[in-house]
Structure 1
Amino acid sequence: MEIYVWRSRVKNKWTRFIIVGTLLGMTQVVWGNHLDTAQAATSKPSSQIKTTLKTLSNLPVVKLTSKSSVKLTDVNLLKQDEGKLLTYTLTYTNNDQRSLQLVDYWTKVRSKGGTVYTSKLLAQDAEKKSVAGGSSLSVTYVTTVGKNVELSSLNFEIVKWDFSKANYESILGKINIPASYNVATPVNKPKKVRINGVPVNVKVQSLQTFSASDKSDYASIKINLHNVGYKGLENAGVKWVLVTKGGSSYPLNINANDSTYSLQPQESKSINYITTVPKKVKLDGAELIMVQENETEKSVIPLATMQLPKSSSMKNTEIKAGKVHTITLDDNKGKMATNVEEVSVSQTHGVNYYSVNFKIKNVGSREVTVPKYEFSVQNNKGKDFPLVTKALDTLKLKPDEERLIRLTFSLPYDEAEGTMKLVMNTPKVEGAEDKEIKFSYPAGTYILPKASSMQQSVGAESTLQLQNGKLSVTWETIQRLPWDNADVLSARVTLRNISTNTIKLPELKGMLSVDSADIPDTQLLMSESSALLGPGMSVDLHLLTTLPTSLDVAQLQVALNEVVGESSSELIRLTHIGQLPAIPRVKLGDNYAINNSGRKSEVKVKRTLVYPGTSSDIVYTELEVKNAEDRQIDLAKLTGYYETKTGEYYKTTVKQIDYPAGPGNSALVTMWSKIPRSIVVSDMSLLVGQTVGGQSTEKETTTSGKGYVDAVSFELKPDQESPLDKIKNFNIYPYTVETKDFKAVLSGGSTVNVSWKYDVSRNNDLNLPENEHKLILQIIEPTGKVFNKEIVLDKDLKEGNNQTLSWTLDDIVFNDRRSGAYTVALYDEFQGQRIKIATQAMGFVPAVGNLPESVPNPPEESL
């Protein structure tokens, strides 16, 4: 619809015509002399009184010649600031065989008090000079009369030029409209009007009122236009004013869809108009005036006056929950079936969050443009809460096409009690010059069904209707985990296609809310790069943000929004109140399954070691990660924290392979951290989760994580094996070493030649990251002096049998040494701290020819 403000397009110092409505700040347009229906006087009971309606057709004609006459066929009166603008139409009938020359005749309007009002032809009739024989011709005159003049006090004089008279005029007759006559076109009768030269039959079809606010009502008038001419009518430019019996006027506003309507020959079209009137104003006996701006006359000209039917009060139709409401678009441009499918609610501190699934389907036979309806919610107290959606901004529907619109809103607890209604209002239309004037009325009012609760949603399955199918939505986990100097808050939501067809997911945006405060920097991570889900397929979404470690959280919410262009609309909101679920614990020796589609794997703790130090120990854990897929994959990158029994966390350094693992293959992941010696390691657990960040959990590396998700807590039991008492056979993962011979040969001087013969085999069951362990071999001579040999694994320790590693010790302590014992000790060194593997006492081997025969050689301890 569109609201118009009427004003003259051409101004001069003599004439200016403005129509101002009470509501719109316009000058009142008043139809003068509102005449009651004449009743025949009778003494019969009122039930037997006959009513006779007299109109202009009952007025007598004025004879011009013996075979020609003229009659008054139309009168319209428009009230203005300066007076009343009067238009009247005279119809000349010529039954002679020759033409009747209109130049011989004229007309005047004279009041009963003698005041003469000069009339002139409208410009559109100025060229009508004669009436052909055997025909009729209508011409319209315009004049201005006094403000208080009534039609019944006016005489319409028919004048013939007569030069034999002193004033050259001969009055042929006078026409007076009695007060009992009704000059307006009766209800249900068409009125023929020429609009821009095109003959159009106009008929008022209905007058309906319904509530607009506590103080005003909408008045909706449907007018039918039928082009009875032979050429089309484009941009009619006519406007309408509703005039009450008391004289108040209210300009009507055309529906926006019809604001530039056209009318082809013989075409009929119904146009809807609307205005607002105060509730206290009665519309019984109201009339409708058609007006049109006339550039030539520099005024607004009334074209027709029509009676309005008795108004019918139209209550806003309330559609029961689950029922379909069919809407016929203006001028039968299409039909749409609408209904509310389901409503869900989640709660936060003092506020309910609602999501309404509203469906629109084109049930017509041609494509329709859906009007930009505006929605609001009414509670049981009668309060109205506007909603915001852009889903209808550019929506077009082909026949049988339907669209699901998701509407979201929030209400305080005390406003959300009882039954609520969703109101779909017609688009608001602004006035041409007053942008504050807007009109809208309900196209449908839908009683909302009882909302399904989304409280305590973790682990519960909900359904989500999309345009092309239905999803189940499950909030699988919510975790608050240590992360550097803050906490990472993560939620995993699984979407599963429960339709029988493939679904294309919309572009999604996630939002985490803490105690009703939305966190705008929430990351949404999707486990799949494809947005297509076949029947039964699922995808995991991770929502991620960080929180201050000191922030207490009583309530959490997860919201998924559909992104369309630069805007988004909420699809679903889930709520959890109270303490967060505990982190899942994995018992010693058990596996933790990573079930990400396409990246399934199993994780278990292989062993935990403690490398003692002076002020802190290094706690070191090896994890075995197995590829559970049937193809080569990049294993999930892991983050780990050691957690003490008292809730303290120590972030680990993580090493893992940076290349894919084959089907069924396993890889070693190492995690370690320095822990104060005062902490009992056996009481600790290892928190392990999948490192995430960026756009997808598939694209992470060991250094680009922004957090981690799906964490579990592994039970730990540090290895406490005692050192071996021989160096013959020992393990330093992934190697198994068997010593064949170990000799420390004295030279007789300051050097000792050490020779170690061994066999080495490597365990290749696991793909290993870079090895950071070293084998430290110590020789401790009797004075306590220690000599270290650093053996770099994968470099100095050679695989195979009969390998030999030789080196020389040079120290003054060996001068003149002829024999004696020493101790060999083996250590696993990691980050500078050591665990003893084995220790064994052995004897030096004297240099050949250097030992006195009187000094026996001590026996070498057997390997």
Structure 2
Amino acid sequence: MNVIKKFGLPVLIASTTALTLQSFPIEKVDAAQVVSKAATPTLKTVKINASTTAKVTDIQMMYGSNEKTVYYTVAIYNGSNQDLDFGDYWVELYSKSGSKFTSKLDANDAKDTKIPAKTTKEFHFSAKVNYGLTINNIKIKFLKWDFSQPDYIRSLGEVSIPSNYSNVVPSATGKVVKIGGKQMSSMLAKSEFAVIGGQVEGSLTYRVTNYSNQAIALNNINFYIKRSGGTMNKLNVDLGGEQQLLSGAAKELQLYGTLPINKIDPNMQLIVTVTDEETKTEMPLATYAITPVGQQWVYTPVNKERAITIDGTKVNSKLRDAFVSTTGTTQQVSMYMSFANKGKQAVSLPNYSYLLMTADGTLYPQVTTTTNAATSTELLPGLLAEKYLQFNVPSSAKMSGLRLVVRQTSEENKKGFVKGLYNVPTTQNQQNVRTVRYNSKQGLFNITVERGERLPWGTQDIINSIITISNTEGGMKSLPNLKATVMLNGYQVDEKDIQLIKTDNIISLDSNQSTNYILSAKVPYTFKSSALTIQLSEVTDSAAGAQSSIGQFNISSTSLTPPAIGLTESIRIAGVGRAATLKLVNRAIYEKKDSKMAYVEFEYNNDEKRIADLANLQVFFQTKDGNYTQGTFVNVKSKASAGRNSLVQAYVVLPSNTDTSELKVLVGEGITGNTFTPADGTADGFVNAKSYTLPMTNMTAPVTFQNMALNPYRINIKNWSTYQTDSHEYKFEFTYDLSRLYNYEYLAGGHKLVIQLVDGSKEYEKAFELETGTDAWKLGEGIKTSVTFSDEPLWGLLFRDFTVNIYDEYQGHRKLMASQKLSATTTNQ
């Protein structure tokens, strides 16, 4: 054989033998990779007459259950000036020990044995031999029919196959084969094997180039793996949709299959045959050495791409970002797989089967959901598409050494064949995962679950999560149409109890912009859960119900507690057109006979640059025993000016014996359906709650009527004088100063100032409104006014001491502002 270099690759020139298909057992398989070998020596040439030579150019073997068949090709060169009839000659195959095996000439060759002058013609023979015979133990004799000889034959010479001869194509070496007289270079470019599910599976890349001027039918080529001992296993072939190899064209054929063994055989070979379209006989073309790729390279390394072909188009695949979460006895492993079309036309991503393999070889199928079941994904040139994969494995399974097996299946081949093998990235605890990268048709987004919260609401609890979507790449992108599924310890929340709220009224994001969504779900307040699981997907076709998974996020129950803030910290309301700040400025307990009221005051500032509605706020109060009671938040129902503050209140009425020493107050933004509650609307839930811890113990009231504060007012009462206007009627005159400490745009209002006279066991009082209303006190200094009380027991008040109390009254409950003991002969100068 002559070795030449062509197109940068060594090409081993040889011809092939065409023979009738022999009976041998065939099983389906996959192949591996090429082995380096020493160059094969050239076989001896035999002179069969003065100007004609014969040469054995190729020897192949096929293996049956108890026998072998040798296929060999003899090239005859007719150097004379006239035709030669090879029918006058014959060949015989022997073992070197002398055993003779009958050779048969191929039926097509037998039709024409004439060899024109000055040409070479090939004749193909086959011979069944015993199973133990090897190529290096063969010799081929050349004979001429000669009736002058005793046995009518004359020996012309023989070719003995030397011990260093091999018919196996070495590693990384090409071989030119002939198919119907058409030349095709071939090379086994790569072979990969792995033990999957207790059996060896392989993937081969067979590279071919058509050197002839006619197309070659690729669907007539067959591929087998010969294992140690001679068992043949047939391979599946992925032709990439094209059955013909055009003149001058090159192509890579993908070969796949499964071997019924559980260890990789180091002595495998690839045998390639072709089926004659007319006679339906199978002819061996070549035998290739297989050296499996090292196991460290069979599985695509983490963060590396693996090239696959889809309908003849190159597609780069890659596995990224694996996560694990544990619920009870099950671990859920999830990951992303990307596909990048490197071709010039769109292709459809097949519905591959995805299997997760643990280090001990156990296989777990992909969890089928509505978002990954039998939906076709179009891969556009130059763009990236991703699949979100989920697998359930026992909690006892080790998370180290995980691998992903991707199979391509069909109706005819349910098991399918391996399309790709990947090392799974180191799994991250899903509890700690907050951000995933998601590729939509619009491009790449970062999607982050910022935090979660569990809040009270009547007989239910509200579970909320803040979701941020960021455009991390250049260019404006439409926002994905999100859909969410919520699970609590395996319990799936009813879809009607889930709201997804956009905090900003936008439909797209520019480069480096972000926006928030709020996911809100309701569950019975008695439902206990150790973790919140959120499954996000993009609705890609609402009419067809098509969805694309984005990712899964787990939040532990310990992370659902609303954030606590200090008394001097502010709550910031975020969102386009909604920016505002809420600051705690006052807290107190108001009381009446059978109940008490916890009361909180806030300054509420519009942080927008124009007038805007202030967000509708909701409030809950939690007592020391852990019980929640919904309070009333007095919202501003008119638009607030930019940069202006308003004074708002929140309160709750509690039983008079309630311990309020460790009261907690939850304040959040009201929601109604899938949107924020309007300023004057009615909420059916709330989100973004913050928690204050408010010690609510009132201080001892001062004994002076100076500098009394009833926000936003400062009040002074002085020059108190007492007059008896009738036997049982007394008039109390005084002056007051009423000023504003702060100039708020809006006051929630509702407060009254109550002056109470206490004479022994008798109490007399009068309430005044401030600034507006009937008999309301006006802003100013030194304003004279009076209050009159009439009652028979008051007789003689001029001759005894009495007490005057000043109260702040709100919603029928009071807080003592000041208390002073007076007499008719004294005033409170």
TM score, norm. by length of structure 1: 0.61
Specify the alignment match of 1:771 in structure 2. 749
Q: CA deviation at 1:673?
A: 1.4
Distance 1:58 1:273 in 2: 33
Give deviations 1:393-451, integer Å, cap 9, x for gaps: 4433443333333333332233444422222322x3325xxxxx636222222222322
Distance 2:439 2:258 in 1: 42
Specify the alignment match of 1:854 in structure 2. none
- Contact between 2:613 and 2:640, CA under 8 Å: does it hold in 1? yes
Specify the alignment match of 1:56 in structure 2. 107
1:341 to 308, 313, 320: 320
Distance 2:275 2:643 in 1: 87
Q: Does 1:413 align with 2:386?
A: no
2:632 to 644, 653, 674: 653
Structure 1 residues 482 and 60, CA gap change in structure 2 (3 angstroms): closer
Distance 1:277 1:736 in 2: 90
2:565 to 582, 586, 608: 586
Specify the alignment match of 1:695 in structure 2. 674
Specify the alignment match of 1:830 in structure 2. 810
Q: Does 1:464 align with 2:437?
A: yes
CA RMSD of aligned residues (A): 5.8
Specify the alignment match of 1:295 in structure 2. none
Give SS of 1:586's match: coil
- Contact between 1:481 and 1:488, CA under 8 Å: does it hold in 2? yes
Specify the alignment match of 1:450 in structure 2. 426
**Matches for 1:199-278 after TM superposition, within 5 Å:** 258=241
Specify the alignment match of 2:305 in structure 1. 324
Q: Which amino acid aligns with 2:396?
A: D
Q: CA deviation at 1:243?
A: 13
Q: CA deviation at 1:221?
A: 13
- Contact between 1:202 and 1:224, CA under 8 Å: does it hold in 2? no
Q: Which amino acid aligns with 1:773?
A: H
Q: CA deviation at 1:655?
A: 0.6
Specify the alignment match of 1:425 in structure 2. 407
Distance 2:346 2:760 in 1: 101
Structure 1 residues 698 and 53, CA gap change in structure 2 (3 angstroms): farther
Distance 1:366 1:682 in 2: 71
Specify the alignment match of 2:663 in structure 1. 684
Q: CA deviation at 1:657?
A: 0.6
Specify the alignment match of 2:142 in structure 1. none
Specify the alignment match of 1:530 in structure 2. 506
Structure 1 residues 420 and 48, CA gap change in structure 2 (3 angstroms): farther
Specify the alignment match of 1:95 in structure 2. none
Structure 1 residues 695 and 287, CA gap change in structure 2 (3 angstroms): same
Q: Does 1:563 align with 2:539?
A: yes
Q: CA deviation at 1:780?
A: 7.0
Specify the alignment match of 2:168 in structure 1. none
Structure 1 residues 613 and 60, CA gap change in structure 2 (3 angstroms): closer
Residues 360-369 or 571-580, more deviating: 571-580
- Contact between 1:608 and 1:719, CA under 8 Å: does it hold in 2? no
Give SS of 2:772's match: coil
Specify the alignment match of 2:382 in structure 1. 400
- Contact between 2:757 and 2:805, CA under 8 Å: does it hold in 1? yes
Q: CA deviation at 1:614?
A: 2.1
Q: How many residues align?
A: 662
Give SS of 2:396's match: helix
Structure 1 residues 520 and 224, CA gap change in structure 2 (3 angstroms): farther
Q: Which amino acid aligns with 2:651?
A: W
Give deviations 1:792-813, integer Å, cap 9, x for gaps: 863121535597889998x785
Distance 2:755 2:283 in 1: 115
Structure 1 residues 818 and 423, CA gap change in structure 2 (3 angstroms): closer
Specify the alignment match of 1:554 in structure 2. 530
**Matches for 1:377-776 after TM superposition, within 5 Å:** 377-387=356-366, 388=368, 390=372, 393-426=375-408, 428-431=409-412, 438=414, 440-457=416-433, 462=435, 464-466=437-439, 475-499=449-473, 504-521=478-495, 522-530=498-506, 532-565=508-541, 566-577=545-556, 579-580=558-559, 583-594=562-573, 599-697=578-676, 703-722=682-701, 731-736=709-714, 760-762=738-740, 765-776=743-754
Give SS of 1:766's match: coil
Specify the alignment match of 2:772 in structure 1. 794
Q: CA deviation at 1:607?
A: 1.6
TM score, norm. by length of structure 2: 0.63
Give SS of 1:430's match: coil
Q: Which amino acid aligns with 1:641?
A: F
Specify the alignment match of 1:108 in structure 2. none
- Contact between 1:748 and 1:817, CA under 8 Å: does it hold in 2? no
Q: CA deviation at 1:540?
A: 3.7
Give deviations 1:45-79, integer Å, cap 9, x for gaps: 379999976222444689xxxxxxxxxxxxxxxxx
Q: If you compute each CA radius of gyration, which structure gives the higher value, 1 or 2?
A: 1
Which one has the bigger strand percentage? Answer: 2
Distance 1:781 1:209 in 2: 103
Distance 1:632 1:443 in 2: 60
Gapped regions of structure 2 (runs ≥ 5): 1-24, 29-67, 73-89, 114-175, 227-231, 262-267
Give SS of 2:647's match: strand
Distance 2:540 2:663 in 1: 48
Specify the alignment match of 1:94 in structure 2. none
Distance 2:428 2:783 in 1: 74
- Contact between 2:348 and 2:377, CA under 8 Å: does it hold in 1? yes
Q: CA deviation at 1:326?
A: 1.9
Q: CA deviation at 1:715?
A: 2.9
Q: CA deviation at 1:359?
A: 2.3
Specify the alignment match of 2:119 in structure 1. none
Specify the alignment match of 2:86 in structure 1. none
Q: CA deviation at 1:817?
A: 11
- Contact between 1:469 and 1:501, CA under 8 Å: does it hold in 2? no
Structure 1 residues 409 and 271, CA gap change in structure 2 (3 angstroms): same
Gapped regions of structure 1 (runs ≥ 5): 1-20, 25-33, 63-186, 193-200, 292-301, 432-436, 844-857
Structure 1 residues 835 and 415, CA gap change in structure 2 (3 angstroms): closer
Give SS of 2:642's match: coil
Structure 1 residues 488 and 379, CA gap change in structure 2 (3 angstroms): same
Distance 2:282 2:550 in 1: 51
Distance 2:488 2:460 in 1: 15
Distance 1:671 1:582 in 2: 21
Q: CA deviation at 1:508?
A: 2.6
Residues 440-449 or 539-548, more deviating: 539-548
Give deviations 1:85-142, integer Å, cap 9, x for gaps: xxxxxxxxxxxxxxxxxxxxxxxxxxxxxxxxxxxxxxxxxxxxxxxxxxxxxxxxxx
2:339 to 326, 341, 360: 360
Distance 1:816 1:221 in 2: 116
Q: Which amino acid aligns with 2:299?
A: E
**Matches for 1:157-196 after TM superposition, within 5 Å:** 188-191=177-180
Give SS of 2:661's match: helix
Specify the alignment match of 2:85 in structure 1. none
Specify the alignment match of 2:13 in structure 1. none
Distance 2:665 2:723 in 1: 47
Structure 1 residues 507 and 736, CA gap change in structure 2 (3 angstroms): same
Q: CA deviation at 1:225?
A: 14
